[in-house]
Amino acid sequence: MVIVRCTTGDWGILPGHESHWAALGIGVLRMLNGGEERKLAVFGGIAEVQNDVVTILTSNAELPEDIDRTRAEADHEIAVQRLQKSVNDFEIQSDQVSLRRSLVRIEVSSYPLISKQEEE
């Protein structure tokens, strides 16, 4: 199963899914296979399903081990401070995007590259 954050909400894709595509938002991409889970930070793009193949086209995706957690936390603090001082719609939207990006990096950086899901 693949779960991606799209601009319209989360999209779960299972084997046999009909052909479809969607615009990606800023969020966590989750891949679940055989009890293992892998997470990546994805910052926009397109997801397509065709013939049981999921294709992700993005200009920026980050693995947990590639994320500098200290920098992501510093970016979060800067975004929060800037958002509090934003004076127009453009600044507010820009600062909200920066805040979202930093939160996704922080979340993904806390996961190991591959994790076993807990058995029920």
Looking at residue 35, its pLDDT comes to: 85
Q: How many CB atoms lie within 10 A of CB 78?
A: 14
Cα–Cα distance for residue pair 70/82, rounded to 1 Å? 18
Cβ distance 7 to 24 under 8 Å? yes
Looking at residue 117, its pLDDT comes to: 56
**pLDDT per residue of the chain (120 residues) written in tens, 0 to 9:** 999 999 999 999 999 999 999 999 999 999 999 889 999 999 999 999 999 999 999 999 999 999 999 999 999 999 999 999 988 999 999 999 999 999 999 999 988 756 565 544
Looking at residue 34, its pLDDT comes to: 87
Taking the whole predicted model, whether its pTM rises above 0.95 is answered as no
Catalogue all structural domains in the chain, each as residue range(s) with its CATH number: 2-64 (2.60.15.10), 65-108 (1.20.5)
